[in-house]
Amino acid sequence: MQTITNALTFEPTVGAGLTRWRQHIVVLALCAYLPLALMERYRLLDHTADIEIVAFGRDVAEAFSNAAYAMFDILTDIDKVREKDSFDLQVSAGDIDELLVSWLDELLYRYETERFIFRRFAVHDISDVSLSASVFGEGIDPSRHEIRTEIKSVTYHQLEVKKTDGVWKAQVVFDV
Protein backbone atom coordinates (compact mmCIF):
# COMPACT_ATOMS: atom_id res chain seq x y z
CA MET A 1 0.00 0.00 0.00
CA GLN A 2 2.90 2.34 0.70
CA THR A 3 4.18 1.86 -2.86
CA ILE A 4 0.81 2.84 -4.32
CA THR A 5 0.52 5.87 -2.02
CA ASN A 6 4.05 6.92 -2.89
CA ALA A 7 3.41 6.38 -6.60
CA LEU A 8 0.26 8.46 -6.54
CA THR A 9 1.96 11.31 -4.69
CA PHE A 10 5.23 10.93 -6.61
CA GLU A 11 7.19 10.82 -3.34
CA PRO A 12 10.05 8.33 -3.31
CA THR A 13 10.64 6.28 -0.19
CA VAL A 14 13.88 6.86 1.71
CA GLY A 15 16.78 5.31 -0.20
CA ALA A 16 14.69 4.71 -3.31
CA GLY A 17 16.73 4.36 -6.48
CA LEU A 18 15.88 4.39 -10.14
CA THR A 19 14.24 0.92 -9.85
CA ARG A 20 11.71 2.26 -7.33
CA TRP A 21 10.77 5.10 -9.72
CA ARG A 22 10.20 2.56 -12.50
CA GLN A 23 7.87 0.62 -10.20
CA HIS A 24 5.91 3.82 -9.56
CA ILE A 25 5.54 4.43 -13.28
CA VAL A 26 4.26 0.87 -13.80
CA VAL A 27 1.72 1.31 -11.00
CA LEU A 28 0.54 4.59 -12.50
CA ALA A 29 0.19 2.99 -15.93
CA LEU A 30 -1.87 0.16 -14.45
CA CYS A 31 -4.09 2.60 -12.56
CA ALA A 32 -4.83 4.41 -15.82
CA TYR A 33 -5.70 1.14 -17.61
CA LEU A 34 -7.82 -0.52 -14.91
CA PRO A 35 -11.03 1.50 -15.39
CA LEU A 36 -11.28 0.29 -19.01
CA ALA A 37 -10.11 -3.24 -18.24
CA LEU A 38 -12.62 -3.61 -15.40
CA MET A 39 -15.48 -1.86 -17.20
CA GLU A 40 -18.77 -3.58 -16.58
CA ARG A 41 -20.64 -4.76 -19.67
CA TYR A 42 -23.98 -3.33 -18.59
CA ARG A 43 -25.97 -2.10 -15.64
CA LEU A 44 -29.65 -2.51 -14.83
CA LEU A 45 -31.36 0.80 -14.11
CA ASP A 46 -34.44 1.39 -11.97
CA HIS A 47 -37.62 1.34 -14.01
CA THR A 48 -41.20 1.04 -12.80
CA ALA A 49 -42.66 -1.60 -15.12
CA ASP A 50 -40.09 -2.58 -17.71
CA ILE A 51 -36.35 -3.33 -17.73
CA GLU A 52 -33.92 -0.52 -18.49
CA ILE A 53 -30.22 -1.06 -19.11
CA VAL A 54 -27.18 0.97 -19.98
CA ALA A 55 -24.42 -0.90 -21.81
CA PHE A 56 -20.83 0.32 -21.85
CA GLY A 57 -17.98 0.10 -24.33
CA ARG A 58 -14.58 1.48 -25.20
CA ASP A 59 -16.09 2.14 -28.62
CA VAL A 60 -19.61 2.21 -30.01
CA ALA A 61 -19.26 -1.33 -31.42
CA GLU A 62 -18.49 -2.71 -27.96
CA ALA A 63 -21.42 -0.78 -26.44
CA PHE A 64 -23.78 -2.31 -29.04
CA SER A 65 -22.33 -5.79 -28.42
CA ASN A 66 -22.81 -5.36 -24.68
CA ALA A 67 -26.40 -4.14 -25.13
CA ALA A 68 -27.15 -7.36 -27.03
CA TYR A 69 -25.36 -9.37 -24.35
CA ALA A 70 -27.51 -7.67 -21.70
CA MET A 71 -30.72 -8.51 -23.54
CA PHE A 72 -29.90 -12.21 -23.72
CA ASP A 73 -28.52 -12.24 -20.17
CA ILE A 74 -31.93 -10.95 -19.04
CA LEU A 75 -33.70 -13.61 -21.11
CA THR A 76 -31.73 -16.60 -19.85
CA ASP A 77 -28.58 -17.73 -18.06
CA ILE A 78 -26.18 -16.72 -20.82
CA ASP A 79 -23.38 -18.84 -19.31
CA LYS A 80 -25.30 -21.95 -20.39
CA VAL A 81 -25.50 -20.86 -24.03
CA ARG A 82 -23.01 -22.56 -26.36
CA GLU A 83 -21.55 -21.07 -29.51
CA LYS A 84 -22.71 -23.87 -31.84
CA ASP A 85 -23.92 -21.68 -34.71
CA SER A 86 -23.28 -18.23 -36.07
CA PHE A 87 -25.13 -15.74 -38.25
CA ASP A 88 -23.99 -12.66 -40.09
CA LEU A 89 -26.40 -9.75 -39.70
CA GLN A 90 -26.72 -6.32 -41.27
CA VAL A 91 -29.09 -3.66 -40.02
CA SER A 92 -29.67 -0.03 -40.89
CA ALA A 93 -31.58 2.90 -39.47
CA GLY A 94 -31.96 6.68 -39.65
CA ASP A 95 -29.51 7.49 -36.85
CA ILE A 96 -27.35 5.86 -34.18
CA ASP A 97 -30.16 5.67 -31.58
CA GLU A 98 -32.54 4.01 -34.04
CA LEU A 99 -29.70 1.70 -35.08
CA LEU A 100 -29.50 0.35 -31.52
CA VAL A 101 -33.22 -0.48 -31.62
CA SER A 102 -32.93 -2.07 -35.09
CA TRP A 103 -29.97 -4.18 -33.93
CA LEU A 104 -31.70 -5.44 -30.80
CA ASP A 105 -35.01 -5.92 -32.67
CA GLU A 106 -33.29 -8.12 -35.25
CA LEU A 107 -31.79 -10.29 -32.50
CA LEU A 108 -35.11 -10.48 -30.67
CA TYR A 109 -36.81 -11.45 -33.95
CA ARG A 110 -34.33 -14.34 -34.39
CA TYR A 111 -35.04 -15.44 -30.83
CA GLU A 112 -38.81 -15.32 -31.31
CA THR A 113 -39.07 -16.86 -34.79
CA GLU A 114 -36.11 -19.24 -34.94
CA ARG A 115 -35.87 -19.95 -31.19
CA PHE A 116 -32.19 -19.02 -31.13
CA ILE A 117 -30.38 -17.52 -28.17
CA PHE A 118 -27.05 -15.81 -28.51
CA ARG A 119 -23.99 -15.51 -26.31
CA ARG A 120 -21.41 -13.54 -28.28
CA PHE A 121 -21.79 -10.54 -30.55
CA ALA A 122 -18.98 -9.36 -32.83
CA VAL A 123 -19.80 -6.01 -34.40
CA HIS A 124 -17.48 -5.73 -37.42
CA ASP A 125 -18.51 -2.44 -38.94
CA ILE A 126 -20.69 0.31 -37.52
CA SER A 127 -21.60 3.83 -38.58
CA ASP A 128 -24.36 6.18 -37.46
CA VAL A 129 -26.81 4.42 -39.81
CA SER A 130 -25.63 0.84 -40.40
CA LEU A 131 -24.11 -2.14 -38.63
CA SER A 132 -22.73 -5.51 -39.68
CA ALA A 133 -22.02 -8.20 -37.14
CA SER A 134 -21.59 -11.90 -36.49
CA VAL A 135 -23.57 -13.44 -33.65
CA PHE A 136 -22.90 -16.77 -31.98
CA GLY A 137 -25.28 -19.05 -30.09
CA GLU A 138 -27.57 -22.03 -30.43
CA GLY A 139 -31.15 -23.15 -30.63
CA ILE A 140 -33.02 -23.21 -27.34
CA ASP A 141 -32.55 -26.45 -25.43
CA PRO A 142 -35.27 -26.58 -22.74
CA SER A 143 -33.14 -28.93 -20.63
CA ARG A 144 -30.41 -26.27 -20.32
CA HIS A 145 -32.03 -22.93 -21.13
CA GLU A 146 -34.58 -21.60 -18.70
CA ILE A 147 -36.25 -18.46 -20.04
CA ARG A 148 -36.17 -16.14 -17.03
CA THR A 149 -37.79 -13.05 -18.49
CA GLU A 150 -39.65 -12.74 -21.78
CA ILE A 151 -38.85 -9.52 -23.59
CA LYS A 152 -41.78 -8.35 -25.72
CA SER A 153 -40.03 -5.52 -27.52
CA VAL A 154 -37.24 -2.98 -27.59
CA THR A 155 -38.63 0.50 -26.97
CA TYR A 156 -37.62 4.06 -27.85
CA HIS A 157 -38.28 5.21 -24.28
CA GLN A 158 -35.10 6.68 -22.66
CA LEU A 159 -33.19 5.58 -25.77
CA GLU A 160 -29.73 7.12 -25.99
CA VAL A 161 -26.34 6.31 -27.49
CA LYS A 162 -23.55 8.68 -26.51
CA LYS A 163 -19.92 9.00 -25.51
CA THR A 164 -19.24 10.38 -22.03
CA ASP A 165 -15.80 10.72 -20.43
CA GLY A 166 -14.26 8.43 -23.04
CA VAL A 167 -16.83 5.65 -22.55
CA TRP A 168 -19.63 4.81 -24.98
CA LYS A 169 -23.05 4.22 -23.39
CA ALA A 170 -26.08 2.61 -25.02
CA GLN A 171 -29.25 3.03 -22.94
CA VAL A 172 -32.49 1.25 -23.79
CA VAL A 173 -35.72 0.01 -22.20
CA PHE A 174 -37.12 -3.48 -22.83
CA ASP A 175 -40.88 -4.02 -22.64
CA VAL A 176 -41.46 -7.16 -20.58
Average pLDDT estimate for 47-57? 95
**pLDDT at site 34:** 42
The yes-or-no verdict on residue 157 having pLDDT over 50 is: yes
pLDDT digits (tens, 9 = 90+) for 66-80: 999 999 999 999 999
Rounded to the nearest 10 degrees, how much is the dihedral formed by the CA atoms of 90, 96, 100, 106? -30
Do 25 and 53 lie in a common domain?
no
Query: Domain containing 23: what range?
Result: 2-37
Phi, psi angles (nearest 5°) of residue 56: -120, 155
pLDDT at 48: 87
Domain count, the chain: 2
Rounded to two decimals, the pTM is 0.80
- Amino acid, single-letter form, for residue 169: K
165 — alpha (psi -120 to 50), left (phi > 0) or beta? left
Q: Check whether 4 has a pLDDT greater than 90.
A: no
Are 27 and 95 within one domain?
no
